[in-house]
């Protein structure tokens, strides 16, 4: 992990340099989050101006894969995320700003190869329509840092009937 002065200051301001309560599970050190101190930071509990972080700063904070997905609206290969098989109790947080978005109780096995959820913590996501495929899709992103998370489809289970199809690399998991 590169930890220059700017990263350290930003991390401290975000309250992120605290004893870790959990870490992203990974088999590949290169894919490990550069923000190794993983802790949920709920809305209203960060004094960082997330929307003011520049593209270069995001590049320093994130792994290449996280950057491509969160900041460039990329999509990971199906089945590529360890979080597909994550079944423990806990919370899935934005890999960019650590906002807790999906309680583990909202996760279900959609069989698609992407971590899937039928709902999200209220007030944590923003939505817009994209046309990257021929048909319109509803894209959603972290409301705090603007990081792209995934797309929502209307073929999910009860009680919402919705499927939030999320990139695993855009999330970190913090066990309860
Ligand atoms: Zn975020």
* Residue 52, domain CATH: 2.170.150.20
Residues with catalytic function? 165
Domain that holds residue 116: 5-175
Task: Say how many Å lie between the CA of residue 100 and the centre of ligand 1.
Answer: 9
Q: How far apart are CA 102 and CA 107, in angstroms?
A: 8
Tens digits of residue pLDDT in 134-163: 778 899 999 999 999 999 999 999 999 999
Tell me how far the alpha carbon of residue 161 lies from the centroid of ligand 1, in angstroms: 25
Which residues neighbour 161 within 8 Å (Cβ) at sequence distance 6 or greater?
118, 154, 155
For residue 98, how far is its CA from the centre of ligand 1 (angstroms)? Answer: 6
pLDDT of residue 52: 94
Give the pLDDT of residue 14: 42
How many contiguous H segments (helices) and E segments (strands) does the chain have?
A: 3, 9
Ranges of residues in the chain with a pLDDT under 70 are 1-36
Q: Tell me, what's the pLDDT at 22?
A: 42
Strands (E), 9-156: 90-94, 100-103, 107-108, 116-117, 125-130, 137-142, 148-153
Q: How high is the pLDDT of residue 31? A: 56
What would the pLDDT profile of 74-89 be if each residue is shown by its tens digit?
A: 999 999 999 999 999 9
Number of domains observed in the structure of the chain: 1
């Amino acid at each position: 992990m590169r930890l220059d002065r700017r990263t350290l200051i930003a991390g401290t301001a975000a309250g992120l340099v605290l004893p870790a309560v959990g870490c992203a599970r990974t088999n590949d050190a290169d894919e490990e989050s550069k923000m190794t101190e993983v802790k949920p930071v709920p809305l209203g509990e960060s004094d960082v101006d997330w929307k003011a972080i520049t593209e270069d700063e995001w590049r320093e904070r994130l792994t290449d894969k996280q950057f491509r997905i969160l900041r460039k609206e990329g999509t990971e290969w199906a089945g590529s995320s360890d979080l597909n098989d994550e079944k423990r109790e806990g919370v899935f947080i934005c890999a960019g700003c650590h906002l807790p978005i999906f309680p583990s109780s909202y996760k279900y096995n959609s069989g698609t190869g992407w971590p899937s959820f039928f709902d999200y913590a209220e007030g944590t996501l923003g939505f817009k329509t994209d046309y990257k495929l021929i048909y319109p899709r509803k894209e959603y992103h972290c409301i705090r840092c603007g990081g792209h998370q995934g797309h929502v489809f209307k073929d999910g289970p009860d009680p919402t009937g919705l499927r939030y199809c999320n990139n695993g690399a855009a999330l970190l998991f913090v066990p309860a």
